[in-house]
Amino acid sequence: MIINDLLNHTSEWLRSTGPNSDIVMSSRIRLARNLDKLPFPHWASKKQSENALQMIEGVCSRVDFLKSSTVFKLADLDNVDKQFLVERHLMSPDFAQKSDNRAVIIDNEEILSIMINEEDHIRMQVMQSGFNLFEAWNIINKIDDYLAKELNFAFLADWGYLTACPTNTGTGMRGSVMLHLPALVMTTQINRVLAAISKLSFTTRGLYGEGTKATGNFFQVSNQVSLGHGENDIIENINSLIKQIIEQETQARQTMLSRERAVLEDRISRSLGILKSAHIITSQETIELLSMVRLGSDLGIIKDLDRCTINELFITTQPAHLQKLENNKLSSSERDVKRAELIRNKLTKQ
């Protein structure tokens, strides 16, 4: 696989096939692992980082499960390529900042990605469509077992997997669920929900993880605690919280439908109207309008548009995706024109 092959491919997690796909965009489990004795990436010499990269890459190439994956060395990618992978959620924004001895392994379905020499030697993640953390855990647990057969991980019986930052020590696991909560935002209940989440020692982040703002009514909820609970326990805890949020969003949607149907229909239809007819549009406006259209599709107000197409547009209208599609560097204002064109084509074709 070369990086351009991804352009015409729909990431598995965008297909909207998983449970509760109306409210939950995707579920993700990530594990942090480090090689025993070898300094963590930020503290390692060039030679040591090279060693870590070679060892991990070597083992990954022998794992049957990873036969249909590709290794991308960051040093071989230009800035647009790196940004492209960030937009597809295949690597973190921080990881894209430096290139030395860094690589990311991605499977053809874009379910799995393994970042080598990020904050920890190994940061692997599995993404699933909809509300499906346990399935993500089952997959990543197996991959972790394969890798642990050949690699010695830094581990202590009482403290678990040892990570560069003590906030990840223990299971080294973070489960995240990406929620689309337009009705809770519109009915101004969202702050109350977010406050409750943080009290329960979970965190909320934006579309692109750590340090990003919530846009398009998307919120990523994940566990903060990784020590003192087993993996299944942590997932159960996230699940029961997410179930409650789903219930509240569903209720808010129903309330809006019964009390303010005309207002809601108007807002959704206008959003679709702008997307179908605009000739210049920023990515921020796109995300906000697509959020309304997604809600309209969930509620049956918009009938001839499937959710997978809408999900894809959130990603393909991002700056690096537009530049890859055009095979050319584009200025911000050129992108706004191309973005509008892409959206018009997609939505009128339907």
Which positions touch other proteins (CB under 8 A)?
A: 34, 36-40, 42-43, 119, 141, 144-145, 148-149, 152-162, 164-167, 169-171, 173, 201, 225-231, 233
CB nearer to other proteins: pick between 134 and 155: 155
**Cβ-based nearer residue to other proteins, 148 or 263:** 148
In the complex, least distance from residue 26 CB atom to other proteins, rounded to whole angstroms: 23
- Of 131, 89, 94, give the one whose Cα is nearest residue 111: 89
Q: How far is the CB of 230 from other proteins (least distance, A)?
A: 5
- 43 or 280, CB closer to other proteins? 43
Place of tokens 């909560």: 181
Report the nearest approach of other proteins to the CB of residue 286 (Å). Answer: 36
Give the torsion through C-alpha atoms of 15, 20, 26, 27, to 10 deg: -130
Q: How far is the CB of 71 from other proteins (least distance, A)?
A: 23
In the numeric block, which tokens belong to residue 296?
């309209």
Task: Between 231 and 249, name the residue whose CB sits nearer to other proteins.
Answer: 231
CA distance 305 to 283: 20
CB of 118 to other proteins, least distance (A): 12
Residue 50 corresponds to which tokens in the numbers above? Answer: 């090279």
Q: How far is the CB of 95 from other proteins (least distance, A)?
A: 15
Instruction: Specify the residue, 10 or 169, whose C-beta has the smaller distance to other proteins.
Output: 169
Shorter beta-carbon distance to other proteins: residue 40 or 314: 40
Measured distance CA(341)–CA(49) in Å, rounded: 44
By beta-carbon proximity to other proteins, the closer residue of 79 and 224 is 224
- Minimum distance from residue 100 beta carbon to other proteins (Å): 17
Nearer Cβ to other proteins, position 2 or 156? Answer: 156
Sign of CA dihedral 206, 32, 110, 176: negative
Minimum CB separation of residue 119 from other proteins in Å reads 8
Quick one: 107 or 144, whose CB is closer to other proteins?
Answer: 144
CB of 166 to other proteins, least distance (A): 6
